[in-house]
Structure 1
């Protein structure tokens, strides 16, 4: 039986925590892009939609997404 750790992401702070915990050995160009998109969303609310979609794509690519994210930026930005 495989145990999985499920982490709820409910806002930008959670995304920053998640990315901060991402293994250094897996920090590639895709990681750097999503980190920049999330930083941009923290500074410019107009970037939030792009950042949310990019983060979902990042998680899907790495097999980490279990369900689509909720609208988190409206309260976080």
Structure 2
């Protein structure tokens, strides 16, 4: 996990699956189950066979993993726009 802790990173930086799993401590199955349930940010398609997660969205989940919903992403986006 230490190799993924760094100084400030852009919230738009894309994280690959291994980094997300190491940072969150979730298993791959649990991560995808949470995505399907709407309790973890969805991945973004980077190309035909590659997906990633925005670091800022994962950070929002890390701040409140128990009660996270997709509405939290919208709320955070609205706060940034204001």
TM-score under structure 2 length normalisation: 0.31
As a proportion of its length, which structure holds more strand? 2
TM-score under structure 1 length normalisation: 0.32
> Taking CA–CA contacts closer than 8 Å with sequence separation of 6 or more, which of the two structures ends up with the larger relative contact order?
1
As a proportion of its length, which structure holds more helix? 1
